[in-house]
Chains A and B, each alone.
Chain A
Amino acid sequence: MRAFVLIAVKALIIAVVASSVGLALNAMASKPLPLVYVPPKEMDLAGVKVPLIDEKEANNHFEMDGFIFVDTRGNEAYAQGHVKGALLLPADQKEERFPEVQPLLPEESTLILYCYGPECEMAEEVGRFLAQLGYRHMMIMSAGFPEWKKAGYPVGEAVARGEK
């Protein structure tokens, strides 16, 4: 037991020294990374300002006229569950799938895009694509579907795998 404690103390010292080196070099860097990450409030996608909202704010717009949820994940994730009523426009098939969903996405509507979470880039990718096509009103639910589901908000029934 005493031997293990000694090993653990030495491991802790290694970790502290190594961490200190990392933090010191970051502090001396020309563009140091902030120690605490603060998520942005909005992003610019192809010239369109897109607010980043959380799941509570997104839920305020749920089933509200003029607001449409767009799931940007893949078929499989969508089939396992999605925001109730959300349309599927996967980031990796956006060009092929867009003609199918275009009739359901009037340009004057506000689109609420989402994927898995804060740093999932699929919603951004689809948002940039739609901005280039002329869509001007978009939001990104940055918390993603996992947080929406965790909050107990309405979830769409699963559909058969691969079904569009």
Chain B
Amino acid sequence: MKYVVLLARLVIGGLFVYASIHKIADPGAFSVSIRNYLVLPAAWSNLCALILPWIELAAGSLLIVGILTRPSALLTTGMLGVFLGAVIYAYSIGLNIDCGCFTSDAATEGKIGLFHIFRDSALFLTSLAILVFDRGNLTLRDLLPGKVSLHKPEPA
């Protein structure tokens, strides 16, 4: 089971880090993507575009290295839940917009559709599995020589 969780951590963490880099590089374009969904008041779009990618980057990086794994998985699960809800809403009201999920340049990903709903659902469940099943195994610390402890040693 721990290898399945590790694989899930690497997949979700890698995707979040990848998704965040383009958005951090061009928050203005990501802000446009947020407004396209018509879910949030337009006035909030810039603020979300400035903070959301950094939360994605932090949570994704922590999932990959296995530090604060479950809090990070809670963040990625929550964000994926919100993304999934936004895609379902946009699809249900017939918005013919670009996804903007993994890049700030939304036009490169194609229009939102059932594919995006299935994909986001699968990612949401994968992230949820990390949150539920992670037991702190196979972290970066385990890969270091001699399993160097990140915690202070107990006094002799």
Contacts and interface: CB of A to CB of B under 8 A. Distances in A.
Chains A and B form a bound pair: yes
Interface of A: 7-8, 10-11, 13-15, 17-19, 21-23, 26, 33-39, 73-74, 76-77, 80, 116-120, 144, 146
A22 B47 CA distance: 10
Given A80-B94, A120-B36, A35 B72 contact: no
Chain A interface main SS type = helix
B35 A8 contact: no
B12 interface: no
A146 B53 contact: no
Nearest to A26: B50
Given A7-B71, A14-B62, A117 B38 contact: yes
Q: Which of A35, A80, A119 has the most CB of B within 10 A?
A: A119
Chain B interface main SS type = helix
Interface residues of B, number: 36
A19 B49 CA distance: 10
Interface string B96-128: 110000000000000000000000000000000
